[in-house]
């Protein structure tokens, strides 16, 4: 099991940079875990829920508007259901979940630095002489004017990833603050240096989110920091650092706009998503049971786009996507299944509070998945397999926390009760 955990850790941490090289590692971990336990790590209700959704997706694909496309898009769901169902065997210790969260936060530093450099290179106010440098010219030729992509293929995908990392970092900061308040032994200068790196790496995600120009990312990041700084009330240092970070973002948006767009109500009231959502809603009403098939929205959208909306390949809302492509029943079952996991985790957190400092890590994972959920209201980023894997990893971490709190759950994970 230790080898599986090490390989999974290396695969997860290198995922943003060399994603397709990491897939063999993840497949090896899934195979090793399946061979050892010969069962799933999830309980009966969650297993039945995922199997029900899987069956409906396959049935929907068979009767889809474009069957080949729908069958191909099953790749975005079915393998990840299996990954989620096996991961709790690997994430079977709170220390393991904390270590992975810390590693992910630290690994994001180059991503944020690259986003900042890319954003600066794309600025309109950049002197012409500097623009002519080959490196600057190459950076300016990347898609999406005045918005950073970093290692991803779209600014919103970058923002979705950084929102998740920011939440994990906030959970780690809260845990360290709680440990310090309880006078737990510290490792002297090494602990001090590690704490500073954690703060820097966590709040660097604010820079990356701003550089992405994502309105959704900025709003979710603000909500996460307010939650961590005020509702938890851990210490004043964290509160003021978060306040300064929020202030810097607000000042930057007021002074420079967001992704080349000046701040006004028009960027919300004239958002083309409203028209896209209307088309998605209509498609869902026309075939409510099995939908039109995964990936088929892009075939039906052009002929219904009589309002001059931009060309898109999905309805920019996860639930509308599920409803119009797979059907309302699959959408409801999947929502209830995932909601059940999150409900149990929130109940555990409310019951125990932060009396046990490792619950701060659970809070970080919950905020990370909450950010993913909020982002899904306005965009769909799981088509990037890196985001898909990270989202299911976070949900598996949340589920693992709920199992570690009981003898029955620990037994299900293959641990001694």
Given 215, 236, 270, the domain boundary residue is: 270
Higher pLDDT, 260 or 70: 70
- Single out the residue of 50, 41, 3, 61 nearest to residue 325, CA to CA: 61
Would the pLDDT of 10 be above 70? yes
DSSP-based three-state secondary structure for 390: helix
Q: What is the mean pLDDT of the chain?
A: 86
Helix pair 273-286, 318-325: axis angle to 10 deg: 30
**In this predicted structure, what is the pLDDT of residue 19?**
82
Say yes or no: 248 and 168 in one domain.
yes
What average pLDDT does the segment 394-400 reach? 96
Q: Based on the number of CB atoms within 10 Å of its own CB, is 248 exposed (0-12), middle (13-18) or buried (19 or more)?
A: middle
Residue 340 belongs to what domain range?
41-90+272-417
Say yes or no: 221 and 277 in one domain.
no
Q: Is residue 96 part of a domain?
A: no
- 163 and 376 in contact (C-beta within 8 Å)? no
Say yes or no: 257 and 379 in one domain.
no
Would the pLDDT of 166 be above 80? yes
What average pLDDT does the segment 305-322 reach? 88
Say yes or no: 172 and 258 in one domain.
yes
Q: Is residue 262 part of a domain?
A: yes
Question: What's the Cα-to-Cα distance from 87 to each of 25, 27, 39, 97, 101, rounded to whole Å?
Answer: 13, 11, 12, 11, 15
**In this predicted structure, what is the pLDDT of residue 193?**
74
Helix pair 2-14, 94-107: axis angle to 10 deg: 20
Say yes or no: 219 and 307 in one domain.
no
Would the pLDDT of 242 be above 80? no
Say yes or no: 262 and 277 in one domain.
no
Q: State pLDDT tens for residues 247-277.
A: 766 666 665 556 555 555 555 566 788 889 9
Say yes or no: 297 and 350 in one domain.
yes
Q: State pLDDT tens for residues 101-154.
A: 999 999 999 999 999 999 998 888 888 777 778 888 788 888 888 889 999 999
Q: Is residue 99 part of a domain?
A: no
Given 255, 270, 285, the domain boundary residue is: 270
Say yes or no: 315 and 353 in one domain.
yes
Q: Is residue 123 part of a domain?
A: yes
Cα–Cα dist 415/413, whole Å: 6
**In this predicted structure, what is the pLDDT of residue 46?**
95
Q: Is residue 66 part of a domain?
A: yes
Given 247, 270, 293, the domain boundary residue is: 270
Say yes or no: 174 and 259 in one domain.
yes
Say yes or no: 277 and 259 in one domain.
no
Say yes or no: 282 and 174 in one domain.
no
**In this predicted structure, what is the pLDDT of residue 75?**
94
Say yes or no: 231 and 310 in one domain.
no
- Single out the residue of 205, 197, 196 nearest to residue 112, CA to CA: 205
Q: Is residue 95 part of a domain?
A: no
Cα–Cα dist 1/279, whole Å: 48
Q: Is residue 22 part of a domain?
A: yes
- 94 and 401 in contact (C-beta within 8 Å)? yes
Give the residue carrying structure tokens 């890590």.
Answer: 361
| 150, two tokens | 């970093």
Q: Is residue 257 part of a domain?
A: yes
Q: Give the rounded percent of residues in the chain with a pLDDT score beyond 70.
A: 86
This prediction's pTM: 0.91
Which residues are within 8 A (CB) of 176 and not within 5 positions of it... i.e. 6 or more apart? 195, 198
Label residue 182 by pLDDT band (50, 70, 90).
low
Give 332's Cβ-side CA count (13 Å radius).
Answer: 6
**In this predicted structure, what is the pLDDT of residue 69?**
95
**In this predicted structure, what is the pLDDT of residue 372?**
94
- Domains in the chain: how many in total? 3
């Amino acid at each position: 099991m230790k080898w599986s955990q090490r390989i999974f850790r290396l695969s997860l941490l290198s995922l943003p940079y060399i994603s397709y090289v990491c897939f063999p590692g993840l497949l090896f971990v899934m195979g090793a875990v399946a061979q050892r336990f010969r069962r799933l790590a999830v309980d009966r209700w969650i297993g039945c829920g995922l199997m029900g959704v899987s069956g409906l997706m396959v049935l929907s694909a068979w009767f889809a508007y474009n069957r080949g496309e729908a069958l191909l898009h099953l790749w975005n769901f079915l393998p990840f259901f299996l990954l989620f169902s096996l991961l709790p065997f690997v994430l079977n210790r709170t220390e393991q979940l904390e270590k992975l969260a810390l590693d992910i936060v630290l690994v994001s530093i180059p991503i944020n630095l690259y986003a900042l450099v890319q954003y600066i290179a794309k600025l309109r106010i950049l002197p012409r002489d500097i623009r002519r440098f080959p490196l600057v010219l190459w950076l300016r030729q990347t898609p999406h004017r005045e918005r950073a992509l970093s290692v991803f293929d779209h600014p919103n995908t970058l923002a979705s990833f950084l929102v998740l990392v920011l939440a994990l970092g906030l959970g780690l900061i809260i845990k360290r603050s709680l440990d310090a308040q309880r006078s737990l032994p510290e490792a002297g200068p090494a602990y001090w240096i590690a704490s500073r790196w954690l703060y820097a790496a966590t709040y660097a995600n604010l820079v990356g989110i701003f550089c992405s120009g994502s309105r959704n990312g900025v709003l979710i990041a603000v909500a996460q920091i307010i939650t961590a700084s005020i509702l938890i009330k851990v210490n004043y240092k964290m509160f003021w650092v978060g306040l300064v970070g929020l202030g810097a973002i607000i000042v930057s948006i007021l002074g420079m706009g967001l992704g080349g767009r000046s701040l006004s109500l028009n960027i919300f009231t004239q958002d083309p998503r409203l028209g896209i959502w209307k088309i998605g809603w209509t498609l869902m009403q026309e075939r409510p049971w099995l939908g039109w098939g995964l990936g088929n929205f892009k075939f039906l959208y052009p002929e219904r786009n009589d309002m001059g909306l931009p060309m898109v390949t999905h309805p920019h809302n996860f639930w509308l996507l599920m409803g119009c492509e797979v059907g309302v029943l699959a959408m409801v079952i999947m929502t209830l299944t995932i909601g059940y996991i999150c409900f149990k985790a929130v109940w555990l957190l409310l019951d125990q509070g932060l009396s046990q400092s490792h619950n701060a890590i659970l809070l970080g994972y919950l905020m990370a998945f909450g950010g993913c959920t909020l982002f899904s209201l306005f965009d769909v980023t799981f088509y990037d397999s890196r985001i898909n894997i990270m989202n299911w990893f976070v949900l598996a971490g949340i589920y693992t926390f709920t199992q570690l709190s009981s003898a029955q759950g620990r037994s299900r994970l293959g641990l001694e009760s």
